[in-house]
Structure 1
Amino acid sequence: MTHHDHHIVVLGGGYTGMLAAIRLAHRTRRTGVRITLVNPSDRFTERLRMHQIAAGQQLADHHIPDLLAGTGITFVRGHATAIDPDRRTVVIDGGTATLEYDTLLYALGSSTDTSRVPGADSHAFTLNGPQEAARFAERLREIVVRGGTVTVCGGGLTGVEAATEIAETYPGLTVRLISSDEPGAMMGDAARAYLFRAMDRLGVTVRSGVRITKVLPDAVELDGGELVASDATLWTTGVRVSPLAGDAGIAVDERGLIRVDATLRSVSHPDVHAIGDAAAVRLAWGQIHGTCQSGLPTAQYAADSIARLLRGKRVKPFRFGYFHQPVSIGRRDAVIQFTHADDTPRRAYLKGRAAVLYKETVSSSPVKMFRLSKRMNVSATVSRGGRATRKPAA
């Protein structure tokens, strides 16, 4: 079957958008389907490694056109600034170009939200991209000569990885991790205890159970008014998504994520498929949260589903279960918490050198998967959730 008039537009060239586009190209080869990938930068960002750039490390430079070479995918460098779901068009860079689509794959992802706490947007750094991370690395090089203080705001896995990476790279700096929740709270007791011993060994000071109410040029203010001096503040807590879908009238939830059905299609516009951080995906055990671990399976599923729909075949509901929580603790240590499908911890965990090798395999796997997916269907799904995902969501 050929579809010479069918145009698929993929918005976003992150982990999910890249995998979905490349897998779609392989699944629809020789059918005449056209695929266009839109992304503001021609550089592929390895979000799993932003904390390494923040600590001053040089990473491999992957360019999207090179990763797409041989797939037949058209790459458009630009920002998607408007969607008209009725006319099925996407406006690029405010009107410099307009793309018509038959199927839209929405993979715009998310970024760290600095809007909720006064001063965070103007006085804190983020890991929202390689340029932002590199600016923070430059700030660290400025303050290390006088033994400055670094404050990492947020005790999620991103904050933990950033704090430990900085502490290991710059032992002369004072590194604080401030969080309203206990770092590693989602882990089991044994893995969390190991994480805390490692942070203590690296000299990371942890303050949990407190809330940051303001970020100043040289300090952060805690609830109660206490000022904590900070020469460089890194903000890693809170998530926001692009308002593009909601502004277009596509049904979204209270956070702006596209509301999807069991096949990851928009409940208001079925020709729009949403994946990764951009989609509100609810399974029987609950709603998945935005991680590469869950994002890549949504990309794989959406690509396969679109290919099946184009052939007139039935699509089964999306199934997924979490498997692990990999956390690097600098370059020479790590801890891997294995989990149940709903991301609650199992008893098993991995630590030390074996965990370092495991984490590096995880971090390097997406780019390898892109290259392999040009030639074969590579599975990104470690777990489909077992019995927990065999029944539909409530």
Structure 2
Amino acid sequence: MTKTPRIAVLGAGYTGLTIAHLLARRTAAEVTLVNDRAHFVERMRNHQIAAGREARRLPLRDLLRGTGVRLVVDRVTRLDAAARHVELAGGADPLGYDLLVYALGSHADLDAVPGAAEHAYAVAGVDQAERLRERLRTAGTVAVVGAGPTGLETAAELAETHPGHTVRLITAGTLGRELAEPGRDHLRRVLDRLGVQVWENTAVAKVDADGVLLEDGRHLAAGAVAWTAGFTVPDLAGQAGLAVDERGRMLVDATLRSRSHPEVYGIGDAAAARTRDGHVLRMGCGPGGLAGACAFHAITARMAGRDPRPLRVEADTLCIGLGAWDGVLQHTGLDGVPHGRPLTGRRVALIKKAVLRTTGRYNPRHPGISVLAARQG
């Protein structure tokens, strides 16, 4: 009798939940999904939660009902790659696997500067976004550190939702450097309209209880500090002896399989996914979804005795919401260089709303759309 393969998926974010769904439905494997909380959280809405909205937590058991996926709500403490099992914080017996999908995502790098872990609020985490929302009930000034897509969305959302507050946006680089010139111009106009104070080419040296200390010695007062300047990943893969890069992201081939352990696949922010031409995909929901779809195709192809097709991504797109009814959408190369003239304004806001509805409401229940949207050719 042929043994039923055991697949363990670690992490129930956008990519982990999707691939667990699909593997359970379209293979004969026993699929176990491990997550440290019992609810699916829409991470792309955290800036809205920080600004005042309530988090919409969807019970994972409801989302997985009828799929055959076994859900384990616990925190992973250790991977034993030699024994092929996962150790959990709750004291249960180690979870064995024949194939592992590592989708533990990323979190804000609060160790980047002194004081950030003690005094800043990381918008990347829903719990801290909720804490920031509560803090803003009494804090009249908020400093947003980091002006990547998350930082821009956070600053704009806070300024629009709290017009009586002072919002300060601090970036170590040039504002909107990912955008073509028309996009940068539009971004500046929107932030100016919303009253956001911008500090460009300004690095933060320390966060304290009263604001931030800049590297040039100036101190910017703030009753709350929102931290969006950089992300880091769990160190479980590196500790287990899997090949990782200098940031701790799992090194995978063009089919998302670990370069050191072929029974392990890495998807989402926690893996450094390379396309056939050598570009590493950036962290983010969009690239993570493409990588997850490729990994699903690769796993099912190998289980069927076929050679999988490698990840093929030709370009990237940034869709940045700037409050409820504005935004900027920029096509870029995989190297981050902007291509062409961006879309701006209300059209982008509508596109962003559609993306959030799809990823937060439809995909968790109907993940097949992710595979159709990211077919590998």
Same fold (TM over 0.5): yes
Q: Which amino acid aligns with 1:8?
A: I
**2:16 corresponds to 1:17:** yes
Q: Which amino acid aligns with 2:208?
A: L
* Equivalenced residues, count: 375
**Deviation per residue, 1:218-246 (Å, 9 max, x gap):** 02101121111111111111211101011
Paired residue for 1:241?
233
Q: CA separation in 2, counterparts of 1:116 and 1:133?
A: 19
8 Å contact from structure 2 (residues 51, 161) kept in 1 = yes
1:38-77, aligned counterparts within 5 Å? 38-77=34-73
1:113-124, aligned counterparts within 5 Å? 113-124=109-120
8 Å contact from structure 1 (residues 8, 34) kept in 2 = yes
What TM-score, normalized to structure 2? 0.95
Paired residue for 1:161?
153
SS at match of 1:86: coil
Paired residue for 1:306?
299
8 Å contact from structure 2 (residues 268, 284) kept in 1 = yes
Q: Which shifted more, 304-313 or 160-169? A: 304-313
**Deviation per residue, 1:350-382 (Å, 9 max, x gap):** 2222111101111222231232236x7742428
**Deviation per residue, 1:19-55 (Å, 9 max, x gap):** 1111212221xx3x10000000011111111000000
1:141-156, aligned counterparts within 5 Å? 141-143=137-139, 148-156=140-148
Paired residue for 2:84?
88
Q: CA separation in 2, counterparts of 1:264 and 1:328?
A: 30
* Unaligned stretches of 5+ residues in structure 1: 387-394
Q: CA separation in 1, counterparts of 2:83 and 2:23?
A: 23
Q: CA separation in 2, counterparts of 1:132 and 1:341?
A: 31
Paired residue for 2:31?
35
Paired residue for 1:255?
247
Q: CA separation in 1, counterparts of 2:44 and 2:69?
A: 25
Shift of 1:289: 1.0
Q: Which amino acid aligns with 2:136?
A: L
Runs of 4+ in 1 over 6 A off after TM superposition: none
Q: CA separation in 2, counterparts of 1:337 and 1:297?
A: 18
Give the % identical residues.
42
* Unaligned stretches of 5+ residues in structure 2: none
Q: Which amino acid aligns with 1:369?
A: N
Shift of 1:73: 0.2
Partner residue of 2:132 out of 128, 131, 136: 136
Classify 1:93/1:236 alpha carbon distance in 2 versus 1 (closer, same or farther; 3 Å). Answer: same
Paired residue for 1:175?
167
1:169-318, aligned counterparts within 5 Å? 169-283=161-275, 284=277, 286-318=279-311
Q: CA separation in 2, counterparts of 1:60 and 1:220?
A: 31
Shift of 1:285: 5.3
Classify 1:267/1:285 alpha carbon distance in 2 versus 1 (closer, same or farther; 3 Å). Answer: closer
8 Å contact from structure 2 (residues 329, 348) kept in 1 = yes
8 Å contact from structure 2 (residues 317, 332) kept in 1 = yes
What TM-score, normalized to structure 1? 0.91
Cα root mean square deviation, aligned: 1.8
8 Å contact from structure 1 (residues 45, 129) kept in 2 = no
